C-alpha cells in the first residue's frame, strides 16, 4: 500500500550563529588591568568560527577587545544583534572584564573607558539592566557567558564585588536568555 506524506517538510537548514565577544584586559585606568579577558575572547572566537558549516550554516563573530570595548561600542553591538538575528538563529554574548555592584546591588560591566570616580562610574559603565533588556529583545536562542568581577581586593569608593547571582536572577525574569557565570554572587572570578 503506497503512503504519501502531505505534511510539512522538515527543514534541514542549519541555524546561523552570531557572537559578540567582549574582552577587556587593558583599561584606561591601569589599576583595573586583567591578564586573560581579551585572550579568552580571542580564543573563543577561533573555536566558534570552526563551527561554520559544521553545526551552523554561518558564523558571524564581532570581537570588541580592550580599547575597542567602550561603553558606546558595546551598547551599539548589542542593538545590532537585535536587528541581525532571526528566531531560528543562535546568539552568544561573551563578556570578560571587571564587573561591580553598587550600594543598591545594581550590576555594572566595566568597559575599557570606564571612569571609576565616585560620580562617574555609573555614568560610564554598562548597567546590567541595559544588558538584560538588550539580550531579552534579541530573537532566537541567546546564551550569555559572563566572566566579570573585580579580581582583587575590591574597587575603591564603596563599590562592592559583583553579585553574579543577582545578575543571573535578573536575566531569568521573563527573558529567553541562558546565562553562564564565572562565579556566584559571593565569589571573585
- pLDDT tens per residue, range 154-173: 333 444 455 555 555 555 55
CA dihedral 75, 80, 85, 90 (to 10 degrees): -40
Give the residue-averaged pLDDT of 169-178.
59
Question: Tens digits of per-residue pLDDT, 82-92?
Answer: 999 999 999 99
CA angle 118, 123, 124 (to 5 degrees): 95
pLDDT at 129: 87
**Residue whose entry in the numeric block shows the C-alpha cell 566579570:** 148
Give the pLDDT band (50/70/90) at residue 136.
Answer: confident
DSSP tag of 152: S
Give the range with max mean pLDDT: 57-66, 95-104, 142-151, 171-180.
57-66
Instruction: Return the biggest CA–CA distance within the chain.
Output: 79
Q: Are 62 and 73 in contact (CB under 8 A)?
A: no
Q: pTM of this prediction?
A: 0.81
Q: Does residue 174 carry a pLDDT above 50? A: no
pLDDT at 132: 87
Within 8 A by CB and 6+ apart from 8, the residues are none
Question: Tens digits of per-residue pLDDT, 2-61?
Answer: 888 777 776 678 899 999 999 999 999 999 999 999 999 999 999 999 999 999 999 999
pLDDT at 12: 73
* Number of residues written out for the chain: 189
pLDDT at 157: 41
pLDDT at 2: 86
pLDDT at 183: 61
pLDDT at 19: 97
Q: Are 77 and 20 in contact (CB under 8 A)?
A: yes
Q: How far apart are CA 62 and CA 139, in angstroms?
A: 18
CA dihedral 121, 77, 92, 141 (to 10 degrees): 110
Q: How far apart are CA 108 and CA 120, in angstroms?
A: 12
Q: How far apart are CA 10 and CA 72, in angstroms?
A: 41
Q: Are 97 and 34 in contact (CB under 8 A)?
A: yes
Question: Tens digits of per-residue pLDDT, 102-114?
Answer: 777 788 899 999 9
| Residue (of 103, 156, 116, 108) closest to 132 by Cα position | 108
Does an H or E element contain 72, and which?
helix 71-84
Amino acid at each position: 500500500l503506497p503512503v504519501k506524506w502531505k505534511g510539512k517538510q522538515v527543514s534541514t537548514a542549519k541555524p546561523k550563529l552570531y557572537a559578540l565577544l567582549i574582552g577587556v584586559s587593558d583599561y584606561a585606568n591601569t589599576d583595573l588591568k586583567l591578564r586573560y579577558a581579551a585572550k579568552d575572547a580571542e580564543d573563543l572566537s577561533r573555536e566558534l568560527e570552526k563551527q561554520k558549516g559544521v553545526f551552523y550554516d554561518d558564523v558571524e563573530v564581532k570581537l570588541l577587545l580592550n580599547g575597542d570595548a567602550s561603553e558606546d561600542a558595546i551598547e551599539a553591538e548589542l542593538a545590532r544583534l537585535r536587528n541581525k538575528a532571526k528566531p531560528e538563529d543562535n546568539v552568544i554574548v561573551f563578556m570578560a572584564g571587571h564587573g561591580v555592584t553598587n550600594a543598591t546591588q545594581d550590576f555594572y560591566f566595566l568597559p575599557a573607558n570606564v571612569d571609576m570616580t565616585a560620580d562617574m562610574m555609573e555614568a560610564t559603565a554598562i548597567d546590567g539592566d541595559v544588558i538584560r533588556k538588550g539580550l531579552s529583545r534579541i530573537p532566537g536562542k541567546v546564551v550569555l557567558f559572563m566572566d566579570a568581577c573585580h579580581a582583587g581586593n575590591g574597587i575603591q569608593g564603596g563599590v562592592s564585588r559583583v553579585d553574579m547571582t543577582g545578575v543571573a536572577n535578573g536575566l531569568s525574569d521573563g527573558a529567553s536568555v541562558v546565562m553562564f557565570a564565572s562565579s556566584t554572587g559571593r565569589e571573585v572570578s
